[in-house]
Structure 1
């Protein structure tokens, strides 16, 4: 079996490009357009938004809490719901991802290992239960994406070791047929090296596992399953220069489209950033020496001096890649790469907003108001 690991030595074009905060990349203007959602209308109201897709006429909004996909026109008018909460065929219990396979929309349910395919024209649904057949593996494999060729991508359920610490430093993303037959390994993804064990100040036998700043690799797929993007984003160690992170794009056959090492300006963690976390930790049971425990927490946190460079990634409908930086001053800057990995633009959004769907003409963003009510907003892009 030919391995399709993300071999960095095989990557194309490793020349660095400017980073999200360099100021050398043109900043694009956003023009607010359609808003989907309502605070008081049950037809238009949205709960937590798990994803957004669109075709030429419609917008599809995943609602994990409600177990359905809400369908709106591109003008924001409600059209219909796909699915409903439940565990039967065509029903959704805990969905958390969706995409396109041809003209059908697929939705994954990792906890139950199910995938449901919706015909968006008729609403008809097909639900399958996924089970990967990986020789020698003891893992339960979770479906995460459907590729354009009809094969599935899956990853292992995270296991824990003593004290709850993750038992492995990386996981494999595998490619299988729909019946679970293993075909290849698409990539290997770090699950983070930012975890620590704290025992100081705790009762005998007690261990707490903490993760101050998420730094695991980020992997996401193009809406049509034609490619995947992997971002290696561990924060700067303060010693090597320049500070940079890596973005790799691979096609559905596992071939590297590009790899880029992107320089960026590190953002230092403020001295009081972890204070609230330390204060709240003092209220937990199992502490027999508060001073020793607080000192151990602070010493651990103070080793994390810089924020990870990327906080989110979205693959656009047109082959672009959208990378979110660190929140600063209530805003977050997004860097846009073209299909070859070159940085071509950047936008600014409120820090709590996230780009869920985009191309070079528009982006669809989830926003939350002061009451934590979700809205999906379309912005036109002026370049």
Structure 2
């Protein structure tokens, strides 16, 4: 069983601390607690889960398909819904993120460009239509999160290229006032390794290939809007430079809290991993030279000889950061970093599960059963 962590280093020149993981970072275990969800009960059954938050009394489960936030007690009893499907005030259309601004819960709708703030005690809602004012930009900017100071984080809508995919290699993450006035660039997010332009074997034009192993930068926002974490996770190229990924925390003023390089054991991609995708593409419409097209695709994929080291990241409610490694043998290792970016723990979950909300005492995990039905499960952390 591989481990995500071999050592970690300050990003500015310090040597990694090497050695076996077991001697550095304690492996945590999980004790199962409350389970929320049902196969056949419409009150407790869940559709796709877009996010989970928990406070001292309640658990909030975002339901993008249903256009609502479902509220449960911490013991699992249904309390109420916040919002309902629709495009009016207090209604939600394909919401995708939520977090806290003070005592209110915010929910973003990237498609409609709206944010809704809910009073969780009364259910009262305030809906804002958001439009970023970025001079000279050709992008449509979508609301991403609300910071603790009331300003909004926005990211560009990724369009263009073949099949509506982006052809640019880097995008800014910006901060604006609620009225859309630009204040700052909070971070820059790279997509450079995800795309490749293929012209060989195509009757007319070109296509943009999206890698089956996405290695674009990952972004997570603290539930209370106090900071963001950016993970640079380009896969190792097999050279002499150590296999590392980089984690940076940035506060709401744009200042770097920490930057860490974390060394990991690279996992090589099997030689036949891309075969099915290459065969499908070479048999697709518009291909007039199947062999040339397949060869160009294989050259694109051969640059990706190792799996990207990180598959997910989630900021905890207590300043921790939770980083998931590569899927292997039906499991993923999650590495836990403290508020200074130092590894303090690690645990394993099935690849069908992911951590949606966590702190050092507990984590809320989204699990799927054999019928692909989602559940939200609370686990106590045993250290």
TM range, smaller chain: over 0.9
Indicate how the Cα distance of structure 1 residues 12 and 264 shifts in structure 2: closer, same or farther if over 3 A, else same.
closer
Offset, 1:341? 0.5
Residue correspondence of structure 1 range 1-383 to structure 2 within 5 A: 15=14, 22-23=21-22, 24-161=24-161, 166-383=166-383
**Offset at 1:21?**
8.8
CA distance in 1, matches of 2:18, 2:344: 11
User: CA distance change for structure 1 residues 115 and 19 in 2, over 3 Å: closer, same or farther?
Assistant: farther
Deviations 1:323-374 (A, max 9, x none): 0000000000000000111011100000121111000011111111111111
1:37-78 deviation digits (Å, cap 9, x = unpaired): 111111101010000011101000000000000011111111
User: Unmatched 5+ residue regions in structure 1?
Assistant: 1-10
3-state SS in 2 of match to 1:171: strand
Determine if contact 1:12/1:256 at 8 Å carries over to the other structure.
no
- 1:124 to 1:163, Cα distance in 2 relative to 1, 3 A: closer
> Is the Cα contact below 8 Å between 2:162 and 2:208 reproduced in 1?
no
Distance 1:214 1:16 in 2: 28
Unmatched 5+ residue regions in structure 2? 1-9
Aligned counterparts of 2:94 and 2:19: Cα–Cα separation in 1: 34
1:335–1:66 Cα change, 3 Å:
same
In structure 1, how many angstroms separate the alpha carbons of the residues matched to 2:50 and 2:129? 21
Alpha-carbon deviations, 1:243-302, whole Å to 9, x = none? 111101111111111110111111111112222322333442222333333333223222
CA distance 1:30–1:41, change in 2 (3 Å) = same
TM-score w.r.t. length of structure 2: 0.92
Distance 1:205 1:56 in 2: 57
Q: Secondary structure at the match of 2:155?
A: strand
CA contact (8 A) 1:18 1:262 kept: no
More displaced 10-residue stretch of structure 1: 42-51 or 152-161: 152-161
Report the CA distance between 1:308 and its aligned residue: 0.8
Distance 2:326 2:340 in 1: 24
Larger CA deviation: 81-90 vs 290-299: 290-299
How far apart in 2 are the matches of 1:91 and 1:349?
A: 35
Structure 2 contact 161–208 (Cα < 8 Å) conserved: no
Contact 2:170 2:191 in 1 (8 A): yes
**Contact kept in structure 2, 1:13 and 1:258, CA below 8 Å:** no
**Most deviating of 101-110 and 367-376:** 367-376
Question: Cα deviation per residue 1:87-121 (whole Å; 9 max; x = unaligned)?
Answer: 00000011000000001000000111100000000
Give the Å deviation of 1:36. 0.7
SS in 2 for 1:235: coil
Q: Report the CA distance between 1:378 and its aligned residue.
A: 0.9
Partners of 2:321 and 2:19 in 1: CA distance? 13
Distance 1:124 1:19 in 2: 53
